[in-house]
Amino acid sequence: MQSDHDSVPVSEVPRGDWSGFRKYFRNDVISGFLVFLIAMPLCLGIALASGFPAIAGVFTAVVGATLTVFISNSELTIKGPAAGLIVIVFGAVTQFGFTGGVDAAADFQAYRMALAVGVVAGLVQIVFGLVRAGVLGDFFPVSVVHGMLAAIGVIIMVKQLPIVVGQSAKGEPIEILRELPEKLYHANPEIAVIGLVSLLILFGFGYWKSVTKNPWVRSLPSQLVVLFAAIPMGLMFDLGHEHTYTFAGQEYRLGEQFLVNVPNNLLQAITTPDWNVFLDPKTQWLALKWVVMFALIGSLESMLSAKAIAMIDPWKRKTNLNRDLIGVGIANTVASMIGGLPMISEIVRSKANIDNGARTRFANFWHGMFLLGFVAFLPALIHRVPLAALAAMLVYTGFRLASPSEFFNVYKIGREQLVIFVATMLAVLLTDILIGIGIGIAVKLTIHLMNGLPLKSIFKPYLEIIEEEGNRVVISARGSAVFSNFIPFRRQIEQLGLEGNNDVVVDFSQTSLVDHSVMEQMHELEDEFERAGRTLEIRGLEGHRQFSDHPLAVRKRGTTRVRRVTIIATPDLEETIAERIASSGATGFTVMPCRGAGRSDLANKKPSLSNHIRFEVIARSKIASEIVDFVSYELPVDARVSVCVETVEVNFAGDY
């Protein structure tokens, strides 16, 4: 279905109140239904991968849809279980005694203990929102967060690949990875067919959607196509009945253990927490550890997702992250009380919500209602879904979190960002998420210190108002502007600009270092100022060396490596060349008359000197290349002109 956001004037901002509920009912119901088609298999798969019953994922999405819609002001986010939390939840149930089906009683007890952790973590999230801790989302470096998510993606893939081929996966990721070739060798052939076909559809159909212009194909969820293929294959292989078959001289067993197990009665599936996990000395410290993990990582992922969706909201509606945290915390508390997984603002389903034409937060509500109705009235159909198909969906999700493009995108920002990204990813894989994040932050700080970060400004920004005139304020930053001191830095800008209703200029000329996280946050602030009808101007970075050509690259004060372009031409080309240099984005150039002789002049024994003009341009690589291309390909063929390019290091000052 093609989105029709453009049919609503920008001035007419949809609001998630009762008038919006009535006015945009059709848009939100349609989007809610399409998101439900994506969410249903993912909710089931994420729950199973987390060591919870499949129905727990549906409980989470339904609670999130019915509670947060009335608390949070995040208009287009979809709340529900997320792949990014699989590793944390599974880690908790494993330490509480989860056996992966060997001992059903122990598994159920571990599940109830994890529910108690989820309730307390939800209460902590409520406290986070009440004390306005939403600002902490600005503290964690972007490369560290992406490295953490990439590690989670790798762990998901490693743990789900054996299930794709009908095998089990137990132990740590490195251990599973070591055993993976053997598990693939002993794959259950018919289950592997279902899993591999599902993977082929996800990757192949996903690529087709990315290149086709057909709106119907682009709107069709890949997960739904997988179900259309996997369920008939499960019926064909008769997975609903216990039996064996022989393939290549080996006997394999099939049965209901390869299908999703959901209860026929939702009320009977409600499960309460086991509070003894906080009372038993053997488990209470473990429980507190996982409360921190649930609350911290869940809050961080949720805030980042909510911020990302607010940035692509067609009507630029700003999410109150503190209010959103309170909503997510309340919903997590309730969901855990009845047997559900932790939830966050899930970015993939939220993006699909926007693409499907949602207007208000009630699209989230309707997606939950469709989930509830489907599970309540058609549990037998869900029971026909092969586990291998759900595992394939999670492998695809994990691949997207850790895809090669993620590495390439980080590398484009700067090689040092790739070092931080990879260090965090490896640290998470070899230790755990909290230690991995800590190592990633330590690596980033170490790189900053090597690049001259002043010790006194690691956590404290030095800001000074140097000019106030009317509704315009100029702030000078000194020392450094890095992720670790950006929270108070941002707060002062917001107080002077958004709260004081002023235009703000931030001058970075006196800073020794401006990091990637700050550059990204400043660009986000520019958008916020624009939405508020004010302007935020960033200046003073001309004297800083960029670590790459990326606009969000780290900046370090000192000499900057740039290109010097020298052009020698006849005087009649002066105006044409000057106009082209000016339009290229170069910050300046010099031109002077000169005399000289070219190749044809030197052919004579007594060469005659002719009048020429000499242009000299100092510019960054991209602009220099554009100027060279202009001279080489756009000037007349018979033009007498030559061009020379060299790499130089300069210290910019003044207008240059």
Dump the DSSP string for 286-319. Answer: HHHHHHHHHHHHHHHHHHHHHHHHHHH-TT-PPP
In the predicted structure, residue 11 carries a pLDDT above the cut 60: no
Instruction: Report the run of H or E that residue 431 belongs to, with start and end.
Output: none
503-514 residues labelled b (16+ CB within 10 A) or e (exposed) = bbbbbbbebbbb
Read off the pLDDT of each residue in 107-125 and give the average, rounded to a whole number: 97
Residue 655: per-residue pLDDT:
40
Q: Give the residue with greater pLDDT, 290 vs 311.
A: 290
In the predicted structure, residue 82 carries a pLDDT above the cut 70? yes
Report d(CA 253, CA 243) in Å as an integer: 6
Q: What pLDDT score does 605 carry?
A: 65
Burial 636-656 (b: 16+ CB within 10 A, else e): eeeeebebebeeeeeebeeee
Q: Rounded CA gap, 180 and 188, in Å?
A: 14
Q: Is the pLDDT of residue 304 over 90?
A: no
Per-residue pLDDT at 656: 38
Percent of the chain with pLDDT over 90: 60
Mean pLDDT of 16-30: 92
Looking at residue 597, its pLDDT comes to 81
User: Residue range 513-530: average pLDDT?
Assistant: 91
pLDDT score of 393 = 93
Per-residue model confidence (pLDDT) at position 606: 67
Q: Which CATH number fits domain 560-650: 3.40.50.2300, 3.30.379.10, 3.40.190.10, 3.30.70.120?
A: 3.30.70.120
Mean per-residue pLDDT for 529-539?
A: 90
Band (pLDDT 50/70/90 cuts) for residue 651 is: low
d(CA 376, CA 359): 27
pLDDT band at 444 (very low <50, low <70, confident <90, very high): very high
Write out pLDDT tens, residues 166-189.
998 777 788 888 888 998 889 999
Q: Specify the range with the lowest mean pLDDT, choosing from 27-41, 95-109, 117-131, 531-545.
A: 531-545
Least confident of 226-235, 414-423, 583-592: 583-592
pLDDT > 70? residue 518: yes
Tell me, what's the pLDDT at 448? 93
E strands, 330-423, are 344-346
Q: Look at residue 255 in the predicted model and tell me its pLDDT.
A: 94
Identify the bridge partners of residue 567 per DSSP, sorted by sequence position: 615, 643
| Spatial CA neighbour of 391 closest among 93, 161, 86 | 161
- pLDDT value at residue 81: 95
pLDDT band per the 50, 70, 90 thresholds, residue 1: very low
> Looking at per-residue confidence, does 592 or 469 come out higher?
592
Mean pLDDT computed over every residue of the chain: 89
What is the CATH code for 455-555? 3.30.750.24
Reported residue count of the chain is 656
Average the pLDDT over 296-305 and give the result. 90
Closest by CA to 436, choosing from 182, 166, 144, is: 144
What span, in angstroms and rounded, lies between the C-alpha atoms of 575 and 554? 37
pTM above 0.75, yes or no: yes
| Mean local confidence (pLDDT), 264-274 | 91
Q: What is the pLDDT of residue 652?
A: 55
In the predicted structure, residue 477 carries a pLDDT above the cut 90: yes
Confidence of residue 133 (pLDDT cuts 50, 70, 90): confident
With cut-offs at 50, 70 and 90, classify the pLDDT of residue 216.
confident
Q: Mean pLDDT across the stretch 205-222? A: 81
Tokens (6 digits) for 619: 């510019």
Q: How far apart are CA 79 and CA 303, in angstroms?
A: 12
- Residue 596 has what pLDDT? 84
Query: Taking a C-beta distance cutoff of 8 angstroms, is the pair 461, 484 a contact?
Result: no
Residue 274 scores a pLDDT above 90: yes
Instruction: Count the Cβ atoms, other than its own, within 10 Å of residue 400.
Output: 16
Compute the distance between CA of residue 567 and CA of residue 653 in angstroms, rounded to an integer.
23
Output the CA torsion 224→229→234→237 (10° steps): 180
Question: Residue 305 burial by CB count (10 A; 0-12/13-18/19+): exposed, middle or buried?
Answer: buried
pLDDT of residue 206: 78
Higher-pLDDT residue of 63 and 583 is 63
According to DSSP, the β-strands at 536-539 and 503-514 are parallel
Share of the chain above pLDDT 70, in %: 96
